[in-house]
A = this chain, B = another copy of it.
Amino acid sequence: MKKFINDPADVVAEALAGLAAAHPDDLRVDVSEQYIARADAPRGGKVALVSGGGSGHEPLHGGFVGTGMLDAACPGEVFTSPVPDQILAATKAVDGGAGVVHVVKNYTGDVMNFQLAAELAADEGIAVETVLVDDDVAVENSTWTAGRRGTGATLLVEKIAGARAEEGGKLAEVAAIGREVNTASASFAYALTAGTTPAAGRPGFDLPEDEIEVGVGIHGEPGRRREKLRPARELVRSALDAILEAKPVNDGDQVIVLVNGLGGTPLLELYLVYGEVATVLAERGVRVARRLVGNYVTSLDMAGMSLTVTRVTDEMIRLWDAPVRTPGLRWGA
Query: How would residues 163 to 177 of chain A score, 1 for a CB under 8 Å from any chain B CB and 0 otherwise?
Result: 000000000000000
- CB within 8 Å of B: which of A272-331? 272-276, 278, 291, 293, 295, 298, 300-301, 303, 305, 325, 327, 330-331
Chain B residues whose CB sits within 8 angstroms of the CB of A233 once the complex forms: 6
Is the Cβ of A210 less than 8 Å from the Cβ of B59?
A: no
Considering the chains assembled together, what is the distance between the CA atoms of A16 and B278 in angstroms?
Answer: 13
Considering the chains assembled together, what is the distance between the CA atoms of A93 and B268 in angstroms?
Answer: 24
Is the Cβ of A275 less than 8 Å from the Cβ of B231?
A: no
In the complex, residue of chain B having the shortest beta-carbon distance to the beta carbon of A264: B264
Is the Cβ of B15 less than 8 Å from the Cβ of A269?
A: yes
Chain B residues whose CB sits within 8 angstroms of the CB of A95 once the complex forms: none
Considering the chains assembled together, what is the distance between the CA atoms of A21 and B327 in angstroms?
Answer: 25
| Interface assignment of A3: CB less than 8 Å from any CB of chain B | yes
Residue among A3, A270, A298, A327 with most chain B CB within 10 A: A3
Is the Cβ of A192 less than 8 Å from the Cβ of B15?
A: no
Is the Cβ of A305 less than 8 Å from the Cβ of B4?
A: yes
Chain B residues whose CB sits within 8 angstroms of the CB of A231 once the complex forms: 5-7
CB-CB under 8 A for A301 and B303, given A21-B278, A266-B56, A274-B22: yes
Quickly give the copy total for this chain.
Answer: 2
In the complex, residue of chain B having the shortest beta-carbon distance to the beta carbon of A331: B330
Is the Cβ of B193 less than 8 Å from the Cβ of A63?
A: no
Is the Cβ of A210 less than 8 Å from the Cβ of B2?
A: yes
Is the Cβ of B298 less than 8 Å from the Cβ of A267?
A: yes
Within the complex, the shortest CB–CB distance from A23 to chain B, in Å, comes to: 9
Chain B residues whose CB sits within 8 angstroms of the CB of A22 once the complex forms: 271, 274, 278, 291, 293
| Interface assignment of A88: CB less than 8 Å from any CB of chain B | no
Within the complex, the shortest CB–CB distance from A116 to chain B, in Å, comes to: 26
Is the Cβ of B267 less than 8 Å from the Cβ of A4?
A: no
Is the Cβ of A275 less than 8 Å from the Cβ of B21?
A: yes
Considering the chains assembled together, what is the distance between the CA atoms of A78 and B55 in angstroms?
Answer: 33
Interface residue from B17, B63, B300, B301 paired with A275 (Cβ < 8 Å): B17
Considering the chains assembled together, what is the distance between the CA atoms of A56 and B327 in angstroms?
Answer: 24
In the complex, residue of chain B having the shortest beta-carbon distance to the beta carbon of A62: B271
Considering the chains assembled together, what is the distance between the CA atoms of A327 and B291 in angstroms?
Answer: 11
Chain B residues whose CB sits within 8 angstroms of the CB of A331 once the complex forms: 325, 330, 333
Query: How would residues 1 to 40 of chain A score, 1 for a CB under 8 Å from any chain B CB and 0 otherwise?
Result: 0111111000110111111111000000000000000000
7 A-B contacts, Cβ less than 8 Å apart? A17-B275, A18-B274, A19-B274, A263-B264, A265-B301, A267-B295, A325-B331
Q: A2-B193, A15-B272, A18-B273 are in contact. List 10 more A-B contacts (CB 8 A).
A: A4-B235, A4-B273, A6-B272, A11-B269, A18-B272, A18-B275, A19-B275, A22-B274, A63-B267, A266-B301
